[in-house]
Every structure is written in C-alpha cells, then in structure tokens.
Amino acid sequence: MSLPGLLSFHYILMLSVLTGAADGYYTYRWTQCIYSSPDLSDMVFIEGFYFNKYPYVKFNSTVGKFVGFTEFGVKTAENFNKDQSLLQQMKAQVDVFCRPNAEITEAAVYNKTVQPKVKLSSVTPGDKTHPALVMCSVYDFYPEPIKVSWLQDGVVVTSDVTNTEELPNGDWLYQIHSELEYTPKAGQKISCVVEHASFSKPMIYDWDPPVPEFEFNIQLLFTIETAGLVLGILIAAAGFLYYKIRSAGL
C-alpha cells in the first residue's frame, strides 16, 4: 500500500525559563523525520533549535551540517560544525532513529486496514411517476481511499449517482455514502459495489427493495373490510337485542 503524501514524526524537547508571572523565554528542539516513499528511501532527518518561536540553528541530513539563522545561531552552527563526531552522529540519525521508528509506525498504523460495514437503505421508495432513491452507507473503514459504485442488472451505472466525500469519524475511521436514483422495474437487480484495501476483491451488496406500495394497500383494504364486517355484526346484534327487548316488553 502506498503512503498518503508526506509523513513526518516529531519529537519536541522543551525548556522554558520563567522570569515573572506573565513573560518568559521558551526554548525547544524540534526533531523531524520526513519521508514520502513507502520504502523509506527518501528519509530526511531535521533537527531545529528554537528560541521563543524562531529557529536559530537547524540540522538537515540532506545538507549534512548545521545552518545558523541569527548572529547567535550562525556562531552556534560554526561551533557545532567543527565537531566531526557530532556531525557523524547527526547524519546517522536517518538510519538509527528515523527509519527504525518509521518502520514501527508503518507496521502499527499505516499498513493496517479495517473492513467497512455496508448498509443499503431506501430514501424514497418511488412509484410509477417518481424515481426511487436508494442509499449505500459504508461505515468505519481504514484507510481513507475507497471506491463505491452501483450495478444495475450487472451493468455499471454512471449517471444519477451522488457520493459524499470520505468523512472522518474522528477515531481514525472513515464513512462514505452514495445515493442512486432509479426507476423501479419488475425483476431488476441493483447492487452497491465497494472496493477497498481491506478486501481482496470488490464486494457486491444486493439491494432488496421495500415492499411495493400496492401490496400495502391490499393489506389496508383487508383491514377496512374486516372492520366493516365487525361493525356490521355489532349493528345486527344490537338490532336483534332491541327487537327481543321490545317483543318481550309488549
């Protein structure tokens, strides 16, 4: 799997000297390992020395020596650069510090995948005059790159598809939603296709549309009929009772 863009990890060492309640000086060292190649071949080690927020000396492993920025920084860099063993040690950080740590991070995080949970749902059922809208929701996957598409009777649908972006949950996992507008037809087969690094092949999820409206109406019709029948029996019974009472009283 290739890496998403530029990666770097940092180690920050901070020292602050307070001289009063409100002001203070703030000095820190910021160590970075920067790379974008999956085999870590382009690894660069950077170490910056900062006073308040300004860098005054920086070591860059590609340059191979310290570079100073202020008058004090230039002097410091000159002194540091005289020390051959320090320079060797700094240059070696690419191999002794950056690459081993990057390998651990890669193995622990970047090479991991989490399979999504896929759910198909009806947004609008549709009828003879209105198209139906179905949603394919893909939850909790990692990493971010994913492809969600639709098949209608085995053919890839290119129009009437609306996708959201890959949305971060905030817990390293992502979700994405895709909507397809279609005209319901008898016997048609609609499926949502999800392609992701966590799967060895594209996964196909078939859409099982909700029960069409007319069947629901038939049920409703039966209910009305039954209610009518019960009402009829009640009225008949009441009439019969009324008749009995009247004839008994006379």
Give the number of residues written for the chain. 250
- Contacts with ligand NAG by CB under 6 A: the residue count is 5
Q: Which residue is nearest to ligand NAG (CB)?
A: 60
Q: Which is nearer to ligand NAG, 62 or 188 (CB)?
A: 62
Burial zone of 148 (CB within 10 Å; 0-12 exposed, 13-18 middle, 19+ buried): buried
- Judged by CB under 6 A, which stretch of 60-68, 75-83, 185-193, 231-239 contacts ligand NAG? 60-68
Residue 60 binds to ligand NAG (criterion: CB under 6 A): yes
Residue 62 binds to ligand NAG (criterion: CB under 6 A): yes
CA 176 to chain centre: 7
CA 7 – CA 102 distance, rounded (Å):
9
Query: Residues 11 to 50: which contact ligand NAG by CB under 6 A?
Result: 44, 46
CA 109 – CA 234 distance, rounded (Å):
72
CA 77 – CA 26 distance, rounded (Å):
20
Task: Tell me the pairing of strands 7-18 and 24-35.
Answer: antiparallel
CA 16 – CA 117 distance, rounded (Å):
48
- Judged by CB under 6 A, which stretch of 55-63, 87-95, 167-175, 208-216 contacts ligand NAG? 55-63
Residue 63 binds to ligand NAG (criterion: CB under 6 A): yes
Shortest distance (Å) from residue 124 CB to ligand NAG: 52
- Judged by CB under 6 A, which stretch of 56-64, 83-91, 183-191, 206-214 contacts ligand NAG? 56-64
| Interface ranges with ligand NAG (CB under 6 A) | 44, 46, 60, 62-63
